[in-house]
Structure 1
Amino acid sequence: MSHSQNTFLGAQLPVYDKDAESSDGEKKQQPNDPEYALDKTATIEEGSEKFHRLGWKRLTICLIVEAIALGSLSIPSAFATLGMVGGVLISIGLGFVAIYTSYVVGQVKMRHPEVEHYADAVRLIWGRFGYELTGVMFVLFLVLLIGSHALTGTIAFINISDKPAVCALVWGIVSAIILFVLALPPTFADVAILGYIDFVSIITAILITIIATGIQAGDAPGGLSAVNWSAWPAEGTTFYSAFLATTNIVFAYSFAVCQFSFMAEMHTPKDYVKSIWALGLIEMFIYTVTGALIYAFVGQDVKSPALLSAGSTVSRVAFGIALPVIFISGSINGTVVGRYIINRAFPTSPMRFINDTRGWIFWIGLIAILTVIGWVIAEAIPFFNALLGLISSLFISGFTFYFPALFWFQLVKEGKWNNGWKNICLSILNAVVFCIGLTVLGIGTYASVEDILHQYNSGSVRGAFTCNSASYT
């Protein structure tokens, strides 16, 4: 047997006695038998085929699920802080920046097919240190997002049921269970099927909110002309509150975080360009129209999420319709981080393909652990949403901005930066994107810390593992 036949993806296989027999007298199939090698090869090919069924349309849906969640209805409150002009310009401008950085991410994947997750790409420029650091950032951020969606589910159930006597922890546990179940499909091609429901859910919830707030504004004394919206930031708007509103829009365009993970399962990776343009334009349209219309209908008093500004009955209906987006968008974070962990834990084993009993047991246990950790952190930290903003400032600034800029300079750029007008223009563009990332990192962190201090000083921080439903509304 040749050396290549006696290895499995680089791992040395043990050599057994060819004449070994089973208890019933039949010869056992040994690892050095040709039939055994064929079986192993078939297992790998089947697993690989199972995880390479994602086309560009389903990739678009996966990116929509990961990027467009109920948080899109927090954008009207960002418009209220930034003013109509600022809100529209930032929504459109950051949309094009996000499309470009995602294009760069895709270029890295095309040139380095072995990259399966974001940490793999950072290892190409920062070595083992960057790989481990980004891996921790990647896991921590996605686990916190799972917790964030568990909390959002709790808030939704509290508003829908309108039963304050029910302990809020009950709704939190129900939310965690739903997130766990929806994260169980291990391939993104399967998750994409749920994505169609997710997309219809958020669009319907947004339309209901826009229509309801528009009717309310029209029926109010003075009609639409009496709504107190402004083209510019309201008087007294502080720098930290304005930048915090900006970061709400920044984080709405953070789909590059999971792009490597999704592209690793594409059967035709070069089609990713269609996906990022489709997603980017859809996001820009949804965010800009949602922010502008709801702000124009409600004014400075718009709540976050904007569903709460649609009136008690309508908001309950809208929250009910939005339940799929809350849980499907939340669960895909569990699937992504689970895939990252299992790929690291079993890089040369068929276990990573989750196609047998042992693989499924490990996968189910892993998703359960990730969901529980996310839920516990979210319930234990009383200022969790502000903490998520802090973590986002620290991490999204890299995933969406300065890492892609560094990728271009070190992995994509051909020739010197000043070699022709194309390189000069792209060098300037990527330098600007890098500076945007550092600005979000520095000022976004400052603004998030200020927000945490403000919550404490105002007494709006809820208790840890509280049953009080009122503290969630």
Structure 2
Amino acid sequence: MFTSNGAESIGADTDVAGDQLGDADYSRASLDHEHFDEEKYGDEKLDTTESEINEADIQALVEEDHGHEIKLRTMSWQKASWLLAGDQVGLAVMSQAWSLSVLGWAAGIMTMLVAGVLFVVTSITMHRYIMRNPQIKDICDFGYYVFGKSRVAYVFSGFMLLANNIILIGFHILMSARVLNTLSDHSLCTVVFNIIGMVMGIVFSLPRTLHHVSFMSMFSAFCMGMAILLWLIFSGIQDHPMQGPKKLFPDDGPVRTYARSPPGTTWVDAMNAMLNITFMWVPQILFPTFIAEMERPQDFPKALAVLTGLQFFLFIIPPSIGYYYLGQYTTSPAFASLQTYTYQKASFAFVIVASILIAGIYANVSAKFIYARVMGKSRHAHSNTATGWGMWFLIMAVIWVVAWIFAEVIPSVGDFLSLLGAAFDSFFGFIFFAVAYWQMNRGSAAYAALYDNTSVANRTCGNKPITSCSLQALDVGNVDTCCTETFGGLLASTQFWDTYTGREDANQLLPQDQWTLHGLWPDFCNGSFTQYCDADRQYDPHPSPAEVNGQKVLPYQGPSVDIMLKDYNATDLLAWMEKNWVAQNQPSAEFWAHEFSKHATCFSTFDVACYGKHYRKHEDLVQFFETAIKYFNSLPTYKWLQEAGITPSNTTTYSLSDISGALADAYGKTPYLGCSGSPYSETEKGRNSMDHGRTVLNEVWYFSHANGRPQEHDIEKVDSVTKTNCAKSPGAIHYYERAKNSVREK
């Protein structure tokens, strides 16, 4: 049955990593079936709804961030309130009275109220979606996830983010120049004042965290509040306005207001006015970044409530008062309608602070988007290094220079606001969040199904089970694909024999006297296979392969699988897996994610639609792990070989026929055996041999067909459909011992 081969021996404690790795593409996990609780981890489905907030994910993200030198997730909801106020209480408020003069009282106030209600609804929807996906860091991530992890959506969102923010920064550069022009009685060229505004903006934009920016936002909101208050006072005490958009007072008659649009109002005028109002109510482009930098993003609704109250007051009351006093002579911004230059200077002077600091907020968000793509996961990205700060300054300077160019090209305030409203408001104010609402409220259909017509009705699968790969199962149109495995009907329960983990220092150790679980695979009935079948459930940070059928498999960057299990409250299962399902050369959770994403998503019976309308997030993930464990528990490879006299040894070699025969006798069918290491023909013993098979035993696959759902483990065993790559010569196979420091004590 076996022969001795001293020449090929390796000491018991020798690390045989080189031979063991061989052709293996990725790490393996192990499982100790003694600790598996069949009663606890059965096939029970929990009839509960998905948690609205992923507390465990959020906590993990905050803890990870707080381990960096530059900590971003530090804002309280109070600081977030100030940041929101600083962002929203800006010069655009001073254009709302002009919108009323174009639309009239009825249409103007109605537009403001409708825009306000939509703002509240869309903002709450956005927050709910981010709480379910707390890894979202900006509006680009939001677009990526809400449109089905679309790379196109991500790139499009990135372009729109930069375009919107840079144009808006240009608007504030223009306004700072106008303030300086007004205060200095046009002592310098406007271009010079634009450059001065740009330089001030770069300086005030240098803080990296929004926590620090929020302090400046307090001052910004105060200054803008003073400007609005002085404008209202001067509008009320002056004898008459100085001028309107087209005529000086009193060329257009006495001051008057209109319930409806004034005579002569064109469609373009009305649309400009409506977009002007809408622009004020769609700041959500920044909100994902704000939420991502809160220490408790769950508290964002508190900050949102503060902002909403402030908005409804400032966006409606002051403009209405101003329109009442200025009528058809209301300009945009409304400071120009004040009767004297003294009034204009006194109120306008406060605007420069708000203009620069608000632009700084938009610059901060834009720079972070670019900075993260440039620096990646480098230590400079979150450390106080010269490289990190140098790149931050360079990106910030480029943003402000490009914005300055826009300020020179588009010199009209009204045109600026209308352009922004027309180009971006529909996407970042409505479309993104309408899709998010649809995603969250359409039940399990939010997840991709392997078959387009898969029903989400709850199933009992009570009929006589159909065997996978049978003629009846292959008639997909006439079987319930959730009760019969139809996509990958040839099941392979796979195991590995490793001698080390590569992460012993992290206490990632192998179990004693036991092969380790690799996975449960759904091969096609002819032995071929597919992989990574559902992009919505791609949790693998290192997908292999990186492309399937011409489509790239994007690396997953969200919370790891162990966090998902914690969030599911599967703590006992997680503890068992951490102890027994052990990976090699990588954290075990990454390997679990690989097995689920690559293989579980290609089972028709694990399709999310099969779990019904009460699907609980990650229920399929948990059940797949339980099912893989169930199959593994029934296949004690180590015990079967031991009973045949085949045990790990660094001095003894075995014949493939003996190993295969022992397992075939125990299982009832011949499994696939896989080997790594050197080809037999290249070893000293096999020199000049025509046997080019590998010589280090390291894997076994047991094949079967499932009667009904694979979850039930009612199977019909079949012989391997894959040819072995092991050497067939007598005594050619090594079955090495594990390194002592790689094995967990019982």
Q: Give TM-score scaled by structure 1 length.
A: 0.74
Which has the larger displacement, 182-191 or 79-88? 79-88
Matches of 1:262 and 1:333 in 2, distance apart? 11
**Matching residue within 421, 424, 431 for 1:402:** 431
TM-superposed CA distance for 1:240, in Å, is 2.0
Residue in 1 aligned with 2:104?
Answer: 83
What code does the residue aligned with 1:157 have? L
Matches of 1:273 and 1:247 in 2, distance apart? 26
8 A contact 1:217–1:227 mirrored in 2:
no
**Matching residue within 234, 251, 258 for 1:212:** 234
Residue in 1 aligned with 2:84?
Answer: 63
8 A contact 1:378–1:384 mirrored in 2:
no
What code does the residue aligned with 1:123 have? Y
Instruction: Report the CA distance shift for 1:393/1:48 in structure 2 as closer, same or farther (over 3 A).
Output: farther
Matches of 1:161 and 1:390 in 2, distance apart? 29
TM-superposed CA distance for 1:309, in Å, is 1.5
8 A contact 1:212–1:314 mirrored in 2:
yes
TM-superposed CA distance for 1:130, in Å, is 0.4
Residue in 2 aligned with 1:157?
Answer: 180
Deviation string 1:321-358 (CA, Å, 9 cap, x unpaired) is: 22211111111111110111112222312222252222
Residue in 2 aligned with 1:103?
Answer: 124
Residue in 2 aligned with 1:168?
Answer: 190
TM-superposed CA distance for 1:291, in Å, is 1.2
TM-superposed CA distance for 1:64, in Å, is 2.0
Task: Tell me the secondary structure at the aligned position of residue 320 of structure 2.
Answer: helix
Deviation string 1:376-431 (CA, Å, 9 cap, x unpaired) is: 232145668626633431212110111100111024554689x9xxxxxxxxxxxx
In the alignment, is residue 359 of structure 1 matched against residue 388 of structure 2?
Answer: yes
TM-superposed CA distance for 1:253, in Å, is 1.1
8 A contact 1:65–1:199 mirrored in 2:
yes
Deviation string 1:161-219 (CA, Å, 9 cap, x unpaired) is: 11x34222211111001111111111000000001111111111111011101112589
TM-superposed CA distance for 1:141, in Å, is 1.1
Residue in 2 aligned with 1:234?
Answer: 262
Residue in 2 aligned with 1:299?
Answer: 327
Deviation string 1:259-299 (CA, Å, 9 cap, x unpaired) is: 00111111001111111121122111101011100000111
Superposed, 1:295-334 pairs within 5 Å as 295-310=323-338, 311-334=340-363
What code does the residue aligned with 1:83 have? G
What code does the residue aligned with 1:359 have? G
**Matching residue within 97, 106, 128 for 2:151:** 128
8 A contact 1:146–1:371 mirrored in 2:
yes
What code does the residue aligned with 2:124 have? Y
Residue in 2 aligned with 1:198?
Answer: 220
Residue in 1 aligned with 2:596?
Answer: none
8 A contact 2:140–2:155 mirrored in 1:
yes
Deviation string 1:96-124 (CA, Å, 9 cap, x unpaired) is: 21011011111111010111011111111
Residue in 2 aligned with 1:379?
Answer: 408
Superposed, 1:14-93 pairs within 5 Å as 45-47=66-68, 50-93=71-114
Mind listing any 5+ residue stretches in structure 1 that lack a counterpart?
4-41, 420-473
8 A contact 2:66–2:73 mirrored in 1:
no
Instruction: Report the CA distance shift for 1:43/1:86 in structure 2 as closer, same or farther (over 3 A).
Output: closer
Matches of 1:387 and 1:327 in 2, distance apart? 16
Instruction: Report the CA distance shift for 1:239/1:44 in structure 2 as closer, same or farther (over 3 A).
Output: closer
What RMSD, in angstroms, separates the aligned Cα atoms of the two structures?
Answer: 2.7
Mind listing any 5+ residue stretches in structure 2 that lack a counterpart?
1-14, 18-62, 243-248, 447-455, 457-746
Instruction: Report the CA distance shift for 1:83/1:113 in structure 2 as closer, same or farther (over 3 A).
Output: same
Task: Tell me the secondary structure at the aligned position of residue 263 of structure 2.
Answer: coil
In the alignment, is residue 261 of structure 1 matched against residue 289 of structure 2?
Answer: yes
TM-superposed CA distance for 1:227, in Å, is 3.4
Matches of 1:369 and 1:315 in 2, distance apart? 33
Aligned residues: 375
Residue in 1 aligned with 2:171?
Answer: 148
8 A contact 2:89–2:225 mirrored in 1:
no
Instruction: Report the CA distance shift for 1:280/1:217 in structure 2 as closer, same or farther (over 3 A).
Output: farther
Matches of 2:392 and 2:347 in 1, distance apart? 34
8 A contact 1:217–1:297 mirrored in 2:
no
Instruction: Report the CA distance shift for 1:75/1:137 in structure 2 as closer, same or farther (over 3 A).
Output: same
Matches of 1:219 and 1:262 in 2, distance apart? 40
Matches of 1:124 and 1:262 in 2, distance apart? 18
**Matching residue within 90, 94, 99 for 2:115:** 94
Q: Name the larger-Rg structure.
A: 2
Instruction: Report the CA distance shift for 1:93/1:388 in structure 2 as closer, same or farther (over 3 A).
Output: closer
In the alignment, is residue 243 of structure 1 matched against residue 271 of structure 2?
Answer: yes
Instruction: Report the CA distance shift for 1:152/1:294 in structure 2 as closer, same or farther (over 3 A).
Output: same
Deviation string 1:19-58 (CA, Å, 9 cap, x unpaired) is: xxxxxxxxxxxxxxxxxxxxxxx99644277211111111
Matches of 1:402 and 1:111 in 2, distance apart? 19
What code does the residue aligned with 1:294 have? G
Task: Tell me the secondary structure at the aligned position of residue 68 of structure 2.
Answer: helix
Higher strand proportion: 2
Task: Tell me the secondary structure at the aligned position of residue 257 of structure 1.
Answer: coil
Matches of 2:323 and 2:413 in 1, distance apart? 26
What code does the residue aligned with 1:253 have? W
Matches of 2:314 and 2:107 in 1, distance apart? 16
8 A contact 1:147–1:377 mirrored in 2:
yes
Instruction: Report the CA distance shift for 1:408/1:318 in structure 2 as closer, same or farther (over 3 A).
Output: same
Q: Give TM-score scaled by structure 2 length.
A: 0.48
Task: Tell me the secondary structure at the aligned position of residue 255 of structure 1.
Answer: coil
8 A contact 1:150–1:175 mirrored in 2:
yes
**Higher RCO by CA contacts (8 Å cutoff, separation 6 or greater):** 1
Matches of 1:75 and 1:381 in 2, distance apart? 20
What code does the residue aligned with 2:175 have? T
Matches of 1:359 and 1:385 in 2, distance apart? 38
Identity, % of aligned positions:
25
TM-superposed CA distance for 1:86, in Å, is 2.0
